[in-house]
Amino acid sequence: MTTVESARAAVRTSRLLLGVALLLVAALYVRALAFTPVEAMQGPAQKIFYVHVPSAWTAFVAFVVVGACSVLYLVMRDIRLDRLAAASAEVGTVFTTGVLLSGPMWGKPIWGTWWTWDARLTSTLFLWFIFFGYLVLRGAVREPGQRARFSAVLGILGALLVPFIHMSVKLFRTLHPQPVVMNPDGPTLPGSMLATLLFGVFAFTIFYAGLVWQRYAQLTLEDAHAAAAAESER
Amino acid sequence: MTPDNGSFMTAAYVVLGVLYAGYTAWVWRKGRD
């Protein structure tokens, strides 16, 4: 099977995973909105948590993948690692946009303000700027090797923000809530809320995998077509 | 008493639904090119 044939097959197969992921996300909406209790202190706005946290989790996974692929690219110079980093960065930027949109819609009714320049919020906004810049950089550099090298350096620098953002609620005095699952004393959520949150994390992780797989296959096809066009011009 | 802030919840679910469905549709269509 040629590279083009296997990429076309991957475009088709990844659509199945993407379809399953969409059903899972739809099921999350139904479970969170209709079958998860309303929190007594915060009211219905607390349910934003079930899409906000999975979006943040997925964005962090996406940027850790970018960082790992970028390091490996600089060592191995395998263009497939650059493609995977590019696909993951694009999907991660979309999920970070989701985090930055859903957070203020919870903050306004609970904190009384859409935004505050708190360490967690500000560093997440900077993460979005870095990866938006990463995507602009990829669009601006034509030569594939140079594009991959420059992007890898920026991808590593961006990924270094992820552990900092995770720790920011511990390192600084912050308005943002502390972790309710990944904390030393174990989860502090009631069982049904925890189950909805974990289902959300699962659904969004599958959603991420489907999107990245699809974009990776598309980028492989684009590179193959560009290489064929360059060959025919010679 | 539970606060009545359901409109924020609805807005967040709609906005994220539009964002993610819109991006997925763009990706899906790009795969057909």
Give residue-wise pLDDT tens across range A17-26: 999 999 999 9
Q: Which residues of chain A have a CB within 8 Å of the CB of B20?
A: 25, 94, 98, 207
Interface contact B20-A102, CB threshold 8 A: no
- Domain coordinates in residue numbering, chain A: 3-228
Measured CA to CA in angstroms, residue A168 lies from A38, A100, A149 at distances of 28, 16, 30
Q: Distances from the Cα of A26 to the Cαs of A31, A34, A110, A148, B16, in angstroms?
A: 9, 12, 26, 36, 12
- Taking CB atoms and an 8 Å limit, are A42 and B23 in contact across chains? no
Contacts of A94 in chain B (CB under 8 A): 19-20, 23
Give the containing element (helix H, strand E) for A193: helix A191-233
pLDDT digits (tens, 9 = 90+) for A132-184: 999 999 999 999 999 999 999 999 999 999 999 999 988 888 888 887 777 77
Confidence class of residue B33 from pLDDT cuts 50, 70 and 90? Answer: low
Q: CB distance from B19 to chain A under 8 Å?
A: yes
Task: Tell me which residues of chain A have a pLDDT lower than 50.
Answer: none
B4, B12, B27: residue with CB nearest A48: B12
* Residue B1 contacts A where some CB pair is shorter than 8 Å: no
Tell me how far apart the alpha carbons of residues A200 and A95 are, in angstroms, rounded to a whole number. Answer: 13
Report whether A88 contacts A69 (CB < 8 A).
yes
pTM for this structure? 0.95
Query: Do the Cβ atoms of A51 and B12 come closer than 8 Å?
Result: yes
Q: Which CATH number fits domain A3-228: 1.10.10, 1.10.287, 1.20.120, 3.10.450?
A: 1.20.120
Mutate to test the interface with A, among B1, B9, B14, B24 (most CBs of A within 10 A): B9
Look at residue B1 in the predicted model and tell me its pLDDT. 65
Q: Is the minimum CB–CB distance between B12 and chain A shorter than 8 Å?
A: yes
